[in-house]
């Protein structure tokens, strides 16, 4: 499928959203991802293909992806940052089952590590647009306060949100340190049917889901989305 780069916006000093126009309507469910090929000269050993969750809502006209780009980022990310409006790229059909359950009443705990917030951006935008209310609690852990994005979106949905900052400044008034399962269970008080969605860097998702599996018998209630490549 062809997509045309339109513009980018900076969410923080190192998190950017890239917006694309499409020639045809692309259907997807909030939480799904695409593979984006980005041909460029002399790619480094990570190559020219990456996977990105769509951070846009399916009801928005443009598709968007949101990612972190730092000084020593890959040749892929540097090329993405320098894209010129009008550049035509190709993506796969959106895919994946990291999506909200069909039953609206199901209690949900969303857990995001850093840029792992992207699937929830799409979900919450969509819930606002469709005026769908669901019993959700969001846990969002970041390294620094400056890494928090789209807090206004969560406030707009009146989403119960716990933000945990690993290395906060003294001005930070919220939770601090490492997000633990004890904190999640203590604050959100899950029932026997609550679903746990965990999205973020490989090590964080692995650690939390393995700890959770020791507590919850029905492992189908734990839904994970691994973002490889972040260290
Ligand atoms: C289903 C799925 C959905 C995803 N959704 C998203 C999403 O929405 N947003 C998102 O940002 N990512 C997402 N990812 C991850 C994405 O595909 C990339 O793997 C990730 O962004 C890292 O990109 P990068 O390899 O270009 O590394 P970079 O972002 O450039 O770098 C990440 C870190 O690795 C270091 N590094 C960079 N290059 C190298 C190298 N050659 N060798 C060793 N270390 C290096 C950097 O110093 C940096 O600390 C998703 C992955 C999957 C599988």
> For residue 147, is it within any domain?
yes
Task: Report how far ligand 1's centroid is from the alpha carbon of 48 (Å).
Answer: 12
- For residue 96, the ligand 1 atom closest to its alpha carbon is 1
Mutate to test the pocket of ligand 1, among 76, 198, 227, 231 (most ligand atoms within 8 A of CB): 227
Strand duo 2-10 + 15-22: pairing: antiparallel
Q: Are residues 48 and 83 in the same domain?
A: yes
Looking at the predicted structure, is the pLDDT value of residue 135 above 90? yes
Q: For ligand 1, what atom is nearest to the CA of residue 69?
A: 29
pLDDT digits (tens, 9 = 90+) for 80-124: 999 999 999 999 999 999 999 999 999 999 999 999 999 999 999
Tell me, yes or no, whether 102 lies in a domain: no
> How would residue 144 be classed by pLDDT, with cut points 50, 70 and 90?
very high
Number of compact structural domains in the chain: 2
Q: Tell me the C-alpha distance between 55 and 99, whole Å.
A: 13
Q: Packing angle between helix 202-215 and helix 181-188, nearest 10 degrees?
A: 60
Q: Which of 15, 45, 48, 51, when mutated, tests ligand 1's pocket best, judged by the most ligand atoms within 8 Å of its CB? A: 51
Q: Give pLDDT, residue 203.
A: 94
Residue 114: which CATH number?
3.40.50.80
Minimum-distance ligand 1 atom for the alpha carbon of 73? 30
Q: 10-47 pLDDT, tens per residue? A: 999 999 999 999 989 999 999 999 999 999 999 999 99
Do residues 66 and 134 share a domain? no
Range of the domain at 36: 2-91
Shared domain check, 221 and 132: yes
Using a pLDDT cut of 90, give the percent of the chain over it: 97
Same-domain pairing of 12 and 87: yes
Q: Do 75 and 114 have their domain in common?
A: no
pLDDT of residue 227: 92
Mean of pLDDT over the chain: 96
Q: Residue whose CA is closest, atom 10 of ligand 1?
A: 67
In a shared domain, residues 44 and 145: no
pLDDT (mean) for 68-76: 96
Answer yes or no: do 113 and 179 share one domain: yes
Predicted confidence at residue 33, as pLDDT, reads 98
Per-residue model confidence (pLDDT) at position 228? 85
Q: Helix or strand or coil: residue 46?
A: coil
Domain boundary among 64, 91, 118: 91
C-alpha 103: how far from its chain's center?
A: 22
Pocket around ligand 1 at a 6 A CB cut-off: 33, 44-46, 50-53, 65-68, 70, 72-74, 76-77, 115, 118, 225, 227-231
Q: Which pLDDT belongs to residue 16?
A: 98
For residues 122 and 94, is the Cβ–Cβ distance under 8 A? no
> Which of 15, 28, 50 maximizes ligand 1 atoms within 8 Å of its Cβ, making it the mutation to test the pocket?
50
User: Whose CA is closest to 5, among 106, 75, 82?
Assistant: 82
Atom of ligand 1 nearest to the CA of 118: 8
Regarding whether 75 and 145 lie in a shared domain, the answer is: no
CB 90 within 8 Å of CB 2: yes
Indicate if the pLDDT at residue 231 is higher than 70.
no
Last residue of a domain, one of 26, 60, 91: 91
Together in a domain, 85 and 115:
no
Q: What is the model's pLDDT at position 35?
A: 98
Domain co-membership, 161 together with 219: yes
Confidence of residue 230 (pLDDT cuts 50, 70, 90): confident
- Whether residues 173 and 80 share a domain: the answer is no
Are residues 220 and 117 part of one domain? yes
């Amino acid at each position: 499928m062809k997509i045309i780069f339109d513009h980018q916006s900076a969410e923080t000093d190192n998190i950017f959203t890239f917006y694309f126009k499409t020639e045809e309507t692309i259907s997807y469910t909030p939480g799904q991802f695409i593979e984006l090929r980005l041909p460029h000269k002399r790619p480094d050993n990570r190559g020219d293909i990456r996977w990105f969750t769509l951070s846009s809502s399916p009801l928005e006209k443009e598709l968007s992806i949101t990612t972190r780009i730092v000084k020593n980022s890959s040749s892929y990310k540097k090329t993405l940052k320098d894209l010129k409006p009008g550049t035509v790229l190709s993506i796969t059909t959106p895919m994946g089952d990291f999506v909200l359950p069909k039953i609206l009443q199901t209690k949900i705990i969303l857990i995001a590590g850093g840029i792992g917030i992207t699937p929830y951006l799409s979900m919450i935008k969509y819930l606002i647009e469709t005026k769908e209310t669901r019993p959700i609690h969001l846990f969002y852990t970041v390294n620094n306060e400056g890494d928090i994005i789209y807090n206004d979106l969560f406030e707009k949905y009146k989403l119960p949100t716990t933000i945990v900052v690993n290395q906060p400044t003294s001005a930070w008034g919220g939770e601090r340190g490492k997000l633990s399962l004890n904190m999640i269970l203590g604050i959100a008080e899950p029932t026997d049917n609550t679903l746990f969605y965990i999205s973020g860097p490989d090590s964080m998702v692995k650690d939390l889901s393995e700890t959770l599996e020791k507590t919850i018998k029905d492992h189908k209630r734990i839904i994970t989305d691994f973002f490889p490549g972040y260290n």
